[in-house]
A and B are shown apart, each in its own frame.
Chain A
């Protein structure tokens, strides 16, 4: 019933994007002084812009408004950015470890952060942390935002700084995916905080400490912290939290925040803010519903526009173009859209490119129209060269992979369009009957059929078949329903989630791990909803341990939401659909063709009623966390729920080494070098939603020393 239209329409659509962008960036009278002289047209601006350092320094020295851009950092012996290099390719030029010798890897050290759940945090830990390696040190945060520096060769602790995040600040999971570093080119080398570690915390603070000592940077905000609750509104712990490392570009720290899903339409704003990396002062704000009015913050006594789509994941930035690329999510009420504003509809589930020094929009590219499926863009985009054009590679939870022109947002690979999609009965006027899809590559599988139902016996399989037939399901983009449940496939976990993809830029191979699981959902009429939004709960009452959306109130809309994430059989806990539930794939960057594709994750830890089966077969489990690719020809990845960390031959897709982790490896690994020795590292800290055991370890492996 849905068909692909050859993409004249999409190309036309794409052609309008820069136009919209220009309209949206009409010069504002309240523009910060430093941006005043610039042409508002993003393309021209980019074309004529001087080299980055020069320009940034110029700006900084001209009016002193913004800190200077830091010199770029190289990936290799260091892992200086959350995504590896500044382009977030997760590709390392290190080649000491190869498919031939990887079998000799031995554990060098294991470091315990000491941060394990206590009291009300029990069952809510999902640290997801990826350390940075800068100089001799590993720089990381723990689940509750304790900043730690560790010797990268020995695993000995250099220092730690605990910002004292309370348990009640945990939104849905205690997560800190990582930190960012900034070196101030205007500071003398031995100045305090000449190089600083910056993180966003669960209680929505931006914290900066000295990389050498861990002492808070006195020049940054108040005693080294900036309160991001400023101008957000009623302060409700857990409603507004930062879990992703900020992007630092042209001396500006750019961050969004996670607004806890499914609570209320009247929720904290999804505003994106840029802060001066030295002083912590607000450089700009991008409030998508009032971009000009609130660029320097809302007027006295007001707050940023409430309930707008947020960015809970990580941005990537192009220091040279001066653009930062924001993967936006949805408004807090994910599954009902009729009350959303035009601005929300325009930017939700879009990649938005902002000028990093002014906060003005350059362009945006939307991946779902009128999203009522919680298909937030969860992956960090990667900056690549695509057939000679500077491009940004964007994976999505629907599994589509887009490649866009970095300057204009125009698609460089074909974008298709689904038409005549069902509009459902709940809000047919809101649901879009067309949606974009990537015709270049998608990780998405064919729609489900009754025969895809699964179980361990004919009885549970039969029960799932009955559920399948009782639900509304018209394939991809089946609209929400309330009379019956509806099947959402792929579910909100992806496709590609925050682990993002890795790109071997030498071999021209994209490595994408993905989930392949549906959700079984139902809109719950208001009078049947028993849960309360987080702002109406007593302190400490917040449940939080539930899977996201399991029973969310969506206050303000006519419906609450019930999500059976992964569509598990209510009796046995066994998934209702056949394996695999997750895979990993190599894609040719030139052609978009699949080079190899295989299930990711063995059945060893999974079985009915939660009993481990110890089966060594690659069943393909749900996974969370990304991979690292190396010049040595290896893909390193944990992510799956089997608690294995493995190396895969990038040419063949074969697992050439694996080891059992002491806890779930739901984090992105890294690789680095100290004194000529290559290390690989991943944290084993578990994940409540992935149901893997909790831990506090960061583990390093290397080849034996001769």
Chain B
């Protein structure tokens, strides 16, 4: 999915992978929203999960935008942390797991789909 729009005029490995870029910006955007709300929630005495997860998601987005493979590892950490936290909060209450696990898992799949593109791209530091 990642490089169908790559321009043949560019040298290999240097074309823009729009899939990665879009996902990167989506992660930045949603990560920032969750981070902001999460910080607010922390100040209100609530759960720290959203602040941390928002930060992780935004950082994943930044890394994706730079075609860095670390994005995958970072998001895996975020996702595994999410699963552990969700299980700790509500266990096997599957309706309660819907908001906790569905969207993060969709993001996880999309992030994993970026692996081929990230392999081809040199990282932009």
Interface on A for B, CB 8 Å cutoff? 450-452, 454-463, 465-466, 468-470, 578-580, 619
Interface of B toward A, CB cutoff 8 Å: 30, 33-34, 37-38, 40-41, 44-47, 50, 53, 89-90, 93, 95-96, 98-100, 102-104
Given A450-B46, A458-B53, A578-B95: A466 in contact with B41 (beta carbons within 8 A): yes
Question: Which of the listed residues B33, B34, B37, B95 has the most CB atoms from chain A within 10 Å of its own CB?
Answer: B95
Contact B47 A456 (CB under 8 A): no
Contact check, B34 vs A451: say whether CB atoms are below 8 A apart: no
Chain A facing B: main interface SS: helix
Total contacts A to B, CB within 8 angstroms?
A: 61
Query: Shortest beta-carbon distance, A619 to chain B, in Å?
Result: 6
What CA separation (Å) do A150 and B102 show in the bound complex?
51
Known: A457-B103, A469-B44. A462 touches B34 (CB 8 A): yes
Selected contact of B50 from candidates A451, A456, A462, CB within 8 Å: A462
Q: What distance in Å separates the Cβ of A526 from its nearest Cβ neighbour in chain B?
A: 28
A459: chain B residues within 8 A (beta carbon) = 30, 33-34, 37
Closest CB of chain A to B107's CB: distance in Å? 10
Q: What are 24 A-B contacts with C-beta separation under 8 Å? A: A450-B46, A450-B47, A451-B47, A451-B90, A451-B96, A454-B95, A456-B99, A456-B102, A457-B99, A458-B34, A458-B50, A458-B100, A458-B103, A459-B30, A462-B50, A463-B37, A465-B46, A466-B40, A466-B41, A466-B44, A468-B46, A469-B45, A578-B93, A578-B95
Tell me, rounded to whole Å, the shortest Cβ–Cβ distance linking B90 to chain A: 6
Which residues of chain B are within 8 angstroms of A457 by Cβ–Cβ distance?
99, 102-103
Given pairs A462-B50, A466-B37, A466-B41, 15 additional interface contacts (CB within 8 A): A451-B96, A454-B96, A454-B98, A456-B102, A456-B103, A457-B103, A458-B34, A458-B100, A458-B103, A466-B44, A469-B44, A470-B44, A578-B93, A578-B96, A579-B95
Task: Name the residue on A nearest B45 (C-beta).
Answer: A469
Question: With A and B bound together, what is the CA distance between A460 and B50 in angstroms?
Answer: 12
- Residues B44 and A462 in contact, CB atoms below 8 Å apart: no
Determine the distance from Cα of A334 to Cα of B49 in the docked complex, in whole angstroms: 38
**B99, A461: Cβ atoms closer than 8 Å:** yes
How far, in whole Å, are A486 and B38 apart by their CA atoms in the complex? 21
Contacting pair B38 A462 (CB below 8 A): yes
Most buried by B among A452, A460, A461, A470: A461
Interface contact B103-A465, CB-CB below 8 Å:
no
CA–CA, A452 and B89, complex, Å: 9
Residues of B contacting A619 with CB < 8 Å? 95
Residue contact A455 to B37, C-beta cutoff 8 Å? no
Q: How far is the CB of B108 from the nearest CB of chain A, in Å?
A: 13
| CB nearest neighbor in A for B57 | A458
- What residues on B are CB-neighbors of A580 within 8 Å? 95
Task: Chain A residues near B90: list those with CB within 8 A.
Answer: 451, 578
Residue of A nearest to B104 (CB): A458
Q: Is the CB of A465 within 8 A of B50?
A: yes
* Bound Cα distance from A455 to B37, whole angstroms: 15
Report the Cα distance A451→B93, complex, angstroms.
12
**B91 CB to closest chain A CB, in angstroms?**
11
Contact assessment for A469 and B102 in the assembled complex, using a CB-CB cutoff below 8 Å? no
Residues of B close to A456: CB separation below 8 A = 98-99, 102-103
In Å, the complex CA distance between A466 and B54 comes to: 15
Contact partner of B46 (CB less than 8 A), chosen from A455, A458, A466, is: A466
Please report the C-alpha to C-alpha distance between residue A578 and residue B96 in the assembled complex, in whole angstroms.
6
Residues of A within 8 A of B40 (CB): 466
Give the residue name and chain of the A residue nearest to B96 (CB).
Answer: A578
Instruction: Given A466-B37, A469-B41, A469-B46, answer yes or no on A461-B30 (Cβ-Cβ < 8 Å).
Output: no
Residues in chain A near residue B99, CB distance under 8 A: 454-458, 460-461
In the assembly, what is the distance between CA of A568 and CA of B96, in Å?
A: 16
- Measured between beta carbons, the chain B residues less than 8 angstroms from A465 are 41, 46-47, 50
How long is the Cα–Cα vector from A468 to B50 in the complex, in angstroms?
15
Give, as a whole number of angstroms, the nearest-CB distance from A622 to chain B.
Answer: 15
Contacts of B37 in A (CB 8 A): 459, 462-463, 466
Q: In the complex, what's the smallest C-beta–C-beta distance from B30 to chain A, in angstroms?
A: 7
Contacts of B53 in A (CB 8 A): 458
Which 3 pairs across A and B sit closest by C-beta, in order of nearness?
A: A469-B44, A461-B99, A457-B103
